[in-house]
């Protein structure tokens, strides 16, 4: 039976990378039934709703989604669709594996970078609780709860155990935010104590950023609250070739939504320059989640073959190929 998969193409380069990724997934030979729905700026223009009911209805049927980036206006305008979706479906784990691709030339190409970011996905400063106390004084609430901190820490350590990973580093600013980040750390320590075979460490976020640039190969699994996780994810992407590369997944008890770390890249929208690698690698994670391990491995291997050959890479990673030329090369490697 075909796997039902909800596709949210999104805004900016979203439709370009989503189409490329759907082609690559189909080329693995896995039977899929795509349910394409719109959310974000396009949905707002067409239906008057940022997150139309059809999106949630589809995800409640399929439980699995592939999502392109969606635009969020800066300093005003509508709230983030991503935050809304993650909260609505209780996708509390944001999982982002950051790995070097074979053959890709980067500033850190000689280092064996292979880290996994676990970012709490539902609270912190992303609660959206902001108000003006008096004129020219605003307050933004950072919410940290024991429930959310324990469950992200548990998901992180369970993954580490399952995958035979060696070390988890919790990242915080509890020297300043003694109560909120303090509670996050307390929960991480409590869970770490139940996984004695896995080394546990802690780093203050500013020091962690420096260490990530100086010694990226020494990091294994990073466990972070929402905001630091967002920022550190882009930093980590920069270590392995940029935002065009790094995949991700938003995971909850009932739903899984796969999406790249990158945004809508308005500067290259519609120019055929978008690198679909990040969403394709997210799709490889999705296929594994669906139990299609062989197809997942084949897709990942095809992407890596194209990188090894280095002839059909997009501009962001030093090549000259268009989105469709890169996609054609990946599809060709699958056959």
Chain residues binding ligand NAD by CB under 6 A are 13, 17, 69-72, 82, 243-244, 259, 262-268, 274-275, 278, 316
Report, in Å, the least distance between residue 266 CB and ligand NAD: 6
| Of 77 and 164, CB closest to ligand NAD | 77
Angstrom distances, CA of residue 65 to CA of 56, 230, 279, 293: 10, 20, 12, 17
| Of 77 and 112, CB closest to ligand NAD | 77
Q: Do 33 and 39 contact (CB within 8 A), yes or no?
A: no
DSSP symbols for 14-81: HHHHHHHHHHHHHHTT--EEEEE---SHHHHHHHS-SS-HHHHHHHHHHSEEEE------SSSSSPPH
| Of 264 and 300, CB closest to ligand NAD | 264
Report, in Å, the least distance between residue 250 CB and ligand NAD: 9
Report, in Å, the least distance between residue 265 CB and ligand NAD: 4
Report, in Å, the least distance between residue 187 CB and ligand NAD: 26
| Of 174 and 329, CB closest to ligand NAD | 329
| Of 266 and 318, CB closest to ligand NAD | 266
SS3 for 170?
Answer: strand
Q: Do 195 and 162 contact (CB within 8 A), yes or no?
A: no
Report, in Å, the least distance between residue 192 CB and ligand NAD: 29
Report, in Å, the least distance between residue 207 CB and ligand NAD: 25
φ and ψ of 210, to 5 deg: -65, -45
| Of 28 and 94, CB closest to ligand NAD | 94
Buried b (16+ CB within 10 A) or exposed e, 184-218: bbebbeebbeebeebebebbebeebbeebeeebee
Report the C-alpha gap between 57 and 55 in whole angstroms: 5
**Angle, vertex CA 38, rays to CA 273 and CA 332, nearest 5:** 40
Report, in Å, the least distance between residue 118 CB and ligand NAD: 17
| Of 116 and 243, CB closest to ligand NAD | 243
């Amino acid at each position: 039976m075909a796997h039902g998969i909800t596709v949210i193409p999104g805004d900016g380069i979203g439709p370009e990378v989503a189409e490329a990724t759907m082609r690559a997934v189909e080329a693995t030979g896995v039977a899929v039934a795509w349910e394409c729905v719109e959310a974000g700026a396009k949905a707002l223009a067409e239906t008057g709703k940022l997150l139309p009911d059809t999106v949630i209805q589809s995800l409640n049927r399929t439980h699995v989604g592939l999502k392109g980036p969606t635009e969020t206006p800066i300093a005003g305008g509508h709230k983030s669709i991503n935050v809304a979706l993650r909260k609505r479906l209780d996708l509390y784990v944001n999982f982002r594996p950051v790995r070097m691709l074979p053959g890709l030339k980067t500033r850190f190409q000689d280092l064996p970078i292979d880290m996994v970011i676990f970012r709490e996905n539902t609270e912190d400063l992303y609660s959206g609780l902001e108000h003006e106390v008096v004129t020219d004084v605003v307050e933004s609430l950072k919410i940290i709860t024991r429930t959310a901190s324990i469950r992200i820490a548990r998901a992180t350590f369970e993954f580490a155990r399952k995958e035979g990973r060696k070390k988890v580093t919790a990242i915080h600013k509890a020297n300043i935010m003694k109560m909120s980040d303090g509670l996050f750390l307390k929960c991480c320590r409590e869970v770490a104590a139940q996984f004695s075979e896995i080394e546990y460490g802690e780093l203050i976020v500013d020091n962690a950023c420096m260490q990530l640039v100086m010694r990226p190969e020494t990091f294994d699994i990073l466990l972070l609250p929402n905001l630091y996780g967002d920022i550190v994810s882009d930093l980590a992407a920069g270590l392995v070739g940029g935002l065009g590369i790094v995949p991700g997944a938003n995971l909850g008890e009932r739903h899984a939504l796969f999406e790249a770390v990158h945004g809508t890249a308005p500067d290259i929208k519609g120019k055929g320059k978008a690198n679909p690698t990040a969403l394709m690698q997210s799709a490889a994670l999705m296929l594994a989640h669906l139990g299609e391990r062989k197809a997942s491995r084949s897709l990942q291997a095809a992407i890596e073959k194209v990188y090894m050959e280095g002839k059909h890479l997009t501009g962001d990673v030093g090549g000259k190929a268009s989105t469709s030329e890169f996609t054609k090369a990946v599809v060709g490697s699958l056959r």
